[in-house]
Structure 1
Amino acid sequence: MNHFHYIDGELHAEDVAIARIAEAVGTPFYCYSTATLERHYAVFAGALGAAGLDATVCFACKANPNIAVIHTLARLGAGADVVSEGELRQALAAGVPPERIVFSGVGKTRAELDFAVATGILQINVESEPELRMLSEVAAARGVRMPVSIRVNPDVDAGTHAKITTGKKENKFGIEWNRIREVYNLAGSLPGLDVVGIACHIGSQLTEIEPFRQAFLRVRDLVDMLRADGVDIRRLDLGGGLGVPYDDETPPSPTAYAEIMRDTLGDLGCRVIVEPGRLLVGNAGILVSRVIHVKEGSTRTFLIVDAAMNDLMRPALYDAHHAIIPVAEPGPGTVLAAVDVVGPVCETGDTFARQRPLPPMAAGDLLAFGTAGAYGAAMSSTYNTRPLIPEVLVRGAEFKVVRARPSFEQMRALESLPDWF
């Protein structure tokens, strides 16, 4: 569910007309709904509670690292899952307590590990033996024992896009499940580490429950084995990955997800950490763009808009589908026509949709791209020297710019000519 809807023929975010925001901030821009963020968190956390799980929800900041978004979720009780020092600093700035922050990621630097240890976060999910040794040195040098979970690669096919699956043995993430015993033995021998659990994350945008069941059962087997070896496993970090409907997908509900977690792992007496990202923020955001030209080609019509692949990378990167709707509601009986919706960047890949049925559009009309709250602004760039676009947060009848569009002068201020010129 989201809170973007037509009122009197105009698309609104909650009680704010999208056209009003466009007039105030210009296009393109991202718009997020507070009510949707709050509802999604309540449904997800409620499902875990109803299943009787001792669960901590840590929002995967990589999906949307805007501090206003993170703060909105933190006020509801969410922690943060971060994968860089930058995300860790964003989470702290957004008010997430360090004891509710988990640091994941396959390539943490020594400086990042040192900052995380000094900050006193909940735990670090370690993904390799070299990282384990490096973290031991960093923690021992600070005279602390850092809580760690070791990320297992369970060799489970998540059935999702090849670029966002993370739990197969050929993926770069985690340590292969059949080597876990020796790696935990190593961890137990190193100073500065408090081995508290197992971490597992098999991918993003999962639309079936079975891969979760397979991964959770493998984690269960590993818990039994490690406890038999004397390892005190008391936390299970189960990652995220539950999908959202972009088109005609029907992902499992949070209730089904929580129940499969309870049925496979609920009797182990472990604290559970889950890291939803897309599920909380995907449908909470839209990208709003304005039509520049309607170009008639010899074989098709092109709708050229002022948003581009640098603003929303997912269609170019994953061939991803996003709903596209006009901000002005079409009248009853409006005839749709197939068009290609494209941006101004000098790449054929700068295409949002091919032969998408849309109502007649003209230069100056506004369009909204749905389910753009996750991995939209987070993945944006300044390709073609295009400024990053504003992000706007709506609450009821109010809206606020929570990331401003930089001017060209501000962009250029980050560059300099060398002295020899």
Structure 2
Amino acid sequence: MLMIVFQELSIYLIIKSLLRNIFFVRLFDVIFLSVCMLMSYIFLAKLGISFSFLMLMMFIFFTWWYVRVLSGALCITFQVFIWSIMVDHICDILTRLMKVPNGYVVVFVILSVVSLIFLNIVMDRTNFSPTFSNQSLNRITALLLMIIYLYIMLSEGLENQFQVILSNLIILSVVMGLVLVFYNEYLKNVRAKYEVQKQRIQIQNDTRYMNEIEAHYNELRRFRHDYQNMLISIDEYLKTDDLEGLQEYYQKNLAPVSNRVLKEKYNLEDLSRVKVKSIKSILFSKLSYAQSQEIEVHFDLKEPLIDITVNELDLDIALGIMLDNAIEASVGHADGEIMSAIFIEKNSTVFLIQNNVFEQLPPLWKLKEAGYSTKGKNRGIGLNSLSKIVNRNENMILETRVLGAVFLQRLTVKRVSQND
């Protein structure tokens, strides 16, 4: 009975480690372990080896309670049970070889503790996940693990012969090696797809950036042409000493142009300090578009932004959503204004975007609901997507505030310490 308690506790701790919440014990955990102990006391003697199937079902339910995906729960639980069988076989072999009577429990506890410590070190220092993001792949993996588990249990039966245990251990080792190779190849494919996607987004950003540069260059050529015509017209007034006509001409034709140029002032010098190409492309494209919609735009950056410490694609999408929301809220309003800035601090980089508010906004939690928008039905995916991006990046912190007539969003990207 004591051995069963140790095994169940070991399985519980390994599953909690794979779920990355080993130090977070809920009331559900306590109730579950208590029920497991009670079931062991009642049914272990009656069911014998079949009791392990009952425990398997219970731990599948336990894992499902946390992940809420059956294929993921099956993958995690079968992995842990197969690992438990491997530890059990290793303990049995070591006990037989060392010929230590009643030493099985001690060896099992030592191996369980060592494997648990090693697992938590790996989980803490890597992004290892016991499941795949693809649910179809999870279902196939769960089926293969179930076949392996059933083979082991049925092949041993009630006879726990040394040769059977050794052969099963070898088979398990080979299978686990194949699984690791398969998982490594899957990760390589995921990384390759991500790099291709990243390069495609980079090409799109560079193309958009070049198009915007070309548009500004054409605008500058038009302005030079108009400027030459202005000088010619002024020269004619000066030659005839028609100062009254010149004053009237200035107020009617030159003053509006001067005001428009001042209003559309764009701080390209500050944008040139953004050295991350994709970030520069997003900022340049969105702010230039805002200007074309007659929105007053400001951008501030005092020192070069050389790199970022977060997923670059996620940051591009996040900034795009924030700027799109600011543009959508400001377009069509005479006083529309967007203030944007980047502040490089010691331990973080802060992206600040704010815009004027021209209508009564609902509570912030309402704005973050998928599908909700103040501009119409089924348009409000921006803030919901933004929240998901921030939640999956540990280095990102998003602050959203409404301060009087100003809607402000502050996205902080924490720097990774060199000692981490």
* TM-score, normalised via structure 2 length: 0.21
Structure richer in helix, relative to its length: 2
Structure number with greater CO (CA < 8 Å, separation at least 6) is 1
State which structure, 1 or 2, has the greater radius of gyration over its C-alpha atoms. Answer: 2
